[in-house]
Chain A
């Protein structure tokens, strides 16, 4: 990292680290004892190490001139490894949570291993840690390649990664300590939320500045998706997390929203986290890595436009389908339901576009596990967006809501779509950035693929069965008007499915572990670096 920075860049990096060192020291010292001061201490420790690293190598070798003439891939590599780090943490917690549902007494008496604390650790570790780092890393890669410009500066990518991962760390460790504001996928407390806003604004500015420096006349569609992801997530995050801290020295806060408005804002946020974090961003990934890996042109430019604007417009409306048959007014439910249905075609347009792009490259899909990851991702993307629109229809929702069908649906999206496209992207990026033709263990990629597919299928099918069984048991009455089943009977009926889910999750985790080892070994045996170069205008010429 430090080698690629010039001396002035090192100075500003060090200055910013020192500034945040002071802030985190203040947080550790002034906040009430407990989670907030512990978090201050954590950040302080990380920043001290970083400060020593920068200061220690301050006058070390300076290769910034060479680096400036090339794409800046160091932050991408760092992001990929942070993403894989969080993948193992998040999936590991996931398998633990799944096992806890089958063997509920495992964590008897250990509060920080109990279901309630560790479940948000799983979702945050996966969505933000694994997914978010992968999005940031690949967006840096994609925006540079498709604009033929280097990242706009060399300092802010590192600060974005640093701040973002401190946010993830604060969030996940906070939940383990029992600190949460109880909003799903937004459990982190107010000070962590503020950090994320700072990071996100920096990310947006860097992305826009890089796009502005582009050497291509047009902006490739992948960048639209990444930009929609960055922009809308910022809006969602800020609005949903508006809160008044109880005191500036404590982690607790009051949300500004109350009652059904709070529920509506939360699910407007929650569903658009699915839309703009887990869909738009990863579609950006798909639209870049699928044509690159398959060597085929995007099947239809027009379809990708309609898909983009359709997704961006319709998705924003559909959050209320999470609140069917609740205190939310019926009309808001109807709108959520109908917009969910109208969303289906734009969503499928992208899945179809991806699959048709593979026309003429099916032999590659057969032979190349990396491309197969992307193919399966597109298929699961299509399946889960269809399922999503279907589940949003009110009468269907009355069966599926509150059951494990929802959990199955989410995982067909996260395991089958999000994780698969990330692995496809990683297996494309790592060899390219190490100057290699392929990963060092191609067979491990193959194993990873089949473990991931088997794990996903076992998981999702088990949860479909579980959810439909639950839904039917809960609504069954006998001829005398008495419930046919007690609640505990429906819990007992889940046992085989919960065991299967644990097995499916463990298979998926095993594949991810293979991926980590494979990436590490490939990096160790790097044979060079990326050979493609940005267009650098010769000095003195303004016009291209």
Chain B
């Protein structure tokens, strides 16, 4: 008997007719409840909502049938398509690599550093080299390889370790003062043990090296020959390919104003170029090396004109 509630006894119902209040705007019946003035309509479930529910659930069930979905015990349902995201990733990667087959393979051989590649191959490789440079090198060496304070210029003809692509490749692979065991090593030692007066004499001398018309002092010359020339070359011309820059041109890394030079002489410098072996493939490193050596040459030819 309890299931058969008399509609007249439901909340909000008219005690005589059993009808509930009708909302005049929509014409729907209310539920008869009220909370601080809020009422609810007893509006039937719209058909479109039911259809939308069905469609989204069908989508889900189809996805469960086709794709890996439900776990059970130590396994899971594999899905009719038999997809595996690990396999898919490897496949996609291989597919992408295969589009490079025409040209990237030719760089996967250190001979290429001596012989270079055909014009055709280079055309295909150049844009990849541009991206490689921008993604890996530009942060330090500058967007167009123009160098930054602390990071050498790469788009000129002056090379700290030699312009041979093989030497460039070695620098990229193992780095300079890096943590790799085959790293190149270069250190500008601190000359803090020099007399202060000597240091300022030397500083002035090095600053003046850059200016062809400046007068060079004899004492500075002497100090330079004793302390600096072994690495930076006679008269600071560089070119010894030992990581020490020429001091007479734009190769200088840390600046050649009075303050920078004074700091460098007093405290020394030991910049780091990280090793890229393991991060880039050897083909990519060779490609970059050729790219950089060309970059220097092109610029050099242009400035010579």
Chain A residues with a Cβ under 8 A of chain B: 145-146, 148, 216-218, 220-221, 288, 291-292, 295-304, 306, 325, 329-335, 337-339, 341-342, 344-345, 348-349, 352, 359-360, 477-489, 532
B56 and A297 within 8 A (CB): no
- Chain B residue contacts of A338, Cβ below 8 A: 59-60, 63-64, 69
Do A304 and B40 form a contact, CB below 8 Å, given A330-B68, A331-B68, A344-B56? yes
A296-B25, A337-B63 are known; give 12 further A-B pairs, CB within 8 A: A217-B33, A288-B38, A297-B23, A297-B40, A298-B40, A299-B26, A300-B43, A300-B45, A301-B31, A302-B45, A360-B25, A360-B26
Can you list 11 A-B pairs, Cβ within 8 angstroms, ordered by A? A146-B38, A297-B30, A298-B41, A299-B41, A300-B44, A329-B76, A331-B68, A341-B56, A348-B52, A482-B131, A486-B135
Alpha-carbon distance between A163 and B204 when the two chains are bound, in angstroms: 65
A486 and B76 within 8 A (CB): no
Residue of A nearest to B57 (CB): A342
- Chain B residue contacts of A298, Cβ below 8 A: 38-41
Alpha-carbon distance between A297 and B98 when the two chains are bound, in angstroms: 64
A145 and B96 within 8 A (CB): no
- Chain B residue contacts of A360, Cβ below 8 A: 25-26
A516 to chain B minimum Cβ distance, whole angstroms, is 27
Of residues 237 to 251 in B, which have CB atoms within 8 Å of A's CB atoms? none
Residue of B nearest to A332 (CB): B71
B121 to chain A minimum Cβ distance, whole angstroms, is 10
B27 to chain A minimum Cβ distance, whole angstroms, is 11
- Chain A residue contacts of B35, Cβ below 8 A: 145-146, 216, 218, 220
B40 and A331 within 8 A (CB): no
Residue of B nearest to A338 (CB): B60
A481 and B44 within 8 A (CB): no
- Chain A residue contacts of B212, Cβ below 8 A: none
Do A341 and B60 form a contact, CB below 8 Å, given A291-B38, A297-B23, A335-B69? yes
- Chain A residue contacts of B124, Cβ below 8 A: 480
B91 to chain A minimum Cβ distance, whole angstroms, is 14
- Chain A residue contacts of B70, Cβ below 8 A: 331, 335
Residue in contact with A480 in the complex, picked from B45, B69, B128, CB distance below 8 Å? B128
Alpha-carbon distance between A145 and B36 when the two chains are bound, in angstroms: 6
B201 to chain A minimum Cβ distance, whole angstroms, is 34
Alpha-carbon distance between A489 and B89 when the two chains are bound, in angstroms: 26
Chain B 41-71, CB-CB to A under 8 Å as 1, else 0, gives 1111110010011001101100110011111
Residue of A nearest to B102 (CB): A480
Residue of B nearest to A326 (CB): B85
A331 and B60 within 8 A (CB): no
Chain B residues with a Cβ under 8 A of chain A: 11, 23, 25-26, 30-31, 33, 35-46, 49, 52-53, 56-57, 59-60, 63-64, 67-71, 76-77, 79, 83-85, 89, 96-100, 102-104, 124-125, 127-128, 130-131, 134-135, 138-139, 143
A480 and B49 within 8 A (CB): no
B59 and A330 within 8 A (CB): no
Alpha-carbon distance between A216 and B85 when the two chains are bound, in angstroms: 54
- Chain A residue contacts of B71, Cβ below 8 A: 331-332
B127 and A301 within 8 A (CB): no
Alpha-carbon distance between A329 and B78 when the two chains are bound, in angstroms: 11
Alpha-carbon distance between A441 and B240 when the two chains are bound, in angstroms: 78
- Chain A residue contacts of B138, Cβ below 8 A: 486, 488
Alpha-carbon distance between A487 and B143 when the two chains are bound, in angstroms: 12
A480 and B64 within 8 A (CB): no
In the complex, number of A-B residue pairs with CB atoms less than 8 Å apart: 155
Alpha-carbon distance between A489 and B102 when the two chains are bound, in angstroms: 26
Residue in contact with A334 in the complex, picked from B23, B36, B69, B127, CB distance below 8 Å? B69
Alpha-carbon distance between A221 and B33 when the two chains are bound, in angstroms: 11
A297 and B60 within 8 A (CB): no
- Chain B residue contacts of A480, Cβ below 8 A: 99-100, 102-103, 124-125, 127-128
B88 to chain A minimum Cβ distance, whole angstroms, is 9
A530 to chain B minimum Cβ distance, whole angstroms, is 11
- Chain B residue contacts of A342, Cβ below 8 A: 56-57, 60
Residue of B nearest to A478 (CB): B127
The 5 closest A-B pairs by CB, nearest first: A486-B134, A482-B128, A360-B25, A481-B99, A338-B60
B38 and A148 within 8 A (CB): no
Alpha-carbon distance between A335 and B63 when the two chains are bound, in angstroms: 9
Residue in contact with B41 in the complex, picked from A146, A301, A489, CB distance below 8 Å? A301
B38 and A485 within 8 A (CB): no
Alpha-carbon distance between A353 and B250 when the two chains are bound, in angstroms: 71
A302 and B99 within 8 A (CB): no
Alpha-carbon distance between A221 and B41 when the two chains are bound, in angstroms: 13
Residue of B nearest to A310 (CB): B53
B103 and A220 within 8 A (CB): no
Do A483 and B128 form a contact, CB below 8 Å, given A303-B49, A338-B59, A342-B60? yes
A486 and B56 within 8 A (CB): no
A356 to chain B minimum Cβ distance, whole angstroms, is 8
B167 to chain A minimum Cβ distance, whole angstroms, is 25
Do A482 and B36 form a contact, CB below 8 Å, given A303-B43, A331-B77? no
Residue of B nearest to A394 (CB): B67
Do A359 and B42 form a contact, CB below 8 Å, given A345-B52, A480-B100? no
Do A487 and B68 form a contact, CB below 8 Å, given A145-B35, A299-B43, A338-B59? no
Residue in contact with B134 in the complex, picked from A331, A333, A335, A487, CB distance below 8 Å? A487
Residue of B nearest to A223 (CB): B35
A334 and B63 within 8 A (CB): yes
B67 and A334 within 8 A (CB): yes
A331 and B38 within 8 A (CB): no
Alpha-carbon distance between A329 and B41 when the two chains are bound, in angstroms: 45
- Chain B residue contacts of A292, Cβ below 8 A: 36-38
- Chain A residue contacts of B103, Cβ below 8 A: 480
- Chain B residue contacts of A333, Cβ below 8 A: 85
Do A297 and B97 form a contact, CB below 8 Å, given A303-B49, A331-B68, A334-B69? no
B3 to chain A minimum Cβ distance, whole angstroms, is 19
Residue of A nearest to B126 (CB): A482
Most interface-central of A297, A299, A333, A334 (chain B CB within 10 A): A297
A358 to chain B minimum Cβ distance, whole angstroms, is 10
Alpha-carbon distance between A405 and B79 when the two chains are bound, in angstroms: 31
A477 and B99 within 8 A (CB): yes
Most interface-central of B68, B83, B130 (chain A CB within 10 A): B68
Do A339 and B134 form a contact, CB below 8 Å, given A148-B36, A297-B39? no
Alpha-carbon distance between A532 and B36 when the two chains are bound, in angstroms: 9
Residue in contact with B100 in the complex, picked from A218, A337, A481, CB distance below 8 Å? A481
Residue of A nearest to B53 (CB): A345
- Chain B residue contacts of A478, Cβ below 8 A: 127
- Chain A residue contacts of B56, Cβ below 8 A: 341-342, 344-345
